[in-house]
Amino acid sequence: MNTRILAATLTASALFLTGCGSDSDDNDTAADTASNSLTYLQAVHASPDAPLANVWVNGSPQLEGVDYGVASGYLTLSSGTNSVQVDVQVGLGNTATVIPESDLSLMEGTRYTVLVTGYADSSVGFPVKPTIITRPVSSNADADNLDVQVVHAAAGVPTVDVYVTAPGADINTAQPLDTLAYEDDTGVITIAGGSYQVRLTLAGTKTVAFDSGAVDLPAGADLTIAAIPNVNNAANSALVKLLVMDGTNGQFVYNTAEQAQIQVGHLVNNAPTVDVALNGSEAISDLVFAEVRGYVDVAVGEYDIGVYPDNTPGTLVIDAMDVPFDAAQDYTVYAVGTLDTIAPLVVVDERRSVATSAVLNVLHAVPNSAAATVDVYVTATNDITQSDPSIPGFAYKQSVQQVYLPAGSYWVTVALPGTKTAAIGPVQVSVENGKVYQAIAIELAEGAGFDLLLDEITE
Q: Do the first three CATH levels of 259-349 and 350-459 match, i.e. the same topology?
A: yes
- Among the four given CATH numbers 3.30.1480, 1.10.3470, 2.60.40, 3.40.50, the one describing domain 142-223+231-257: 2.60.40
pLDDT digits (tens, 9 = 90+) for 74-91: 999 899 887 878 888 989
- pLDDT value at residue 130: 87
In the chain, where the domains are located: 1-138, 142-223+231-257, 259-349, 350-459
Average confidence score pLDDT of the chain: 90
- Collapse the DSSP code of 5 into the 3-class scheme (helix H, G, I; strand E, B; otherwise coil) and give the result: helix
**Mean pLDDT, to the nearest integer, of 9-29?**
35
**Mean pLDDT, to the nearest integer, of 115-132?**
92
- Could you tell me the strand order of the sheet in which 358-364 lies? 399-405, 358-364, 436-443, 450-456
- pLDDT value at residue 92: 85
- pLDDT value at residue 347: 98
**Mean pLDDT, to the nearest integer, of 363-380?**
95
Q: What is the DSSP letter of 123?
A: G
- pLDDT value at residue 36: 54
Structural class in CATH, domain 350-459 = mainly beta
pLDDT band for 203, please (50, 70, 90 cuts): very high
Q: Enumerate helices (H) and strands (E) in the chain, giving the number of each.
A: 2, 33
**Mean pLDDT, to the nearest integer, of 396-407?**
96
In this predicted structure, the answer to whether residue 108 has a pLDDT above a threshold of 70 is yes
In this predicted structure, the answer to whether residue 67 has a pLDDT above a threshold of 60 is yes
Q: 244: which strand partners?
A: 225, 251
At position 195, the amino acid (one-letter code) is: S
Structural class in CATH, domain 259-349 = mainly beta
Measured CA to CA, the distance from residue 423 to residue 375 in angstroms comes to 10
pLDDT band for 336, please (50, 70, 90 cuts): very high
Measured CA to CA, the distance from residue 55 to residue 66 in angstroms comes to 8
pLDDT band for 54, please (50, 70, 90 cuts): very high
User: Which pTM value belongs to this model?
Assistant: 0.89
Look at residues 109, 106, 1 and name the one whose alpha carbon lies nearest to residue 50: 1
Give yes or no for a contact between 145 and 193, defined as CB atoms under 8 angstroms apart: yes
Q: 409: which strand partners?
A: 430
φ, ψ of residue 176 in degrees (nearest 5): -65, 145
- Residues 270-294, buried b or exposed e (16+ Cβ, 10 A)? ebeebbbbbeeeebbeebebeebbe
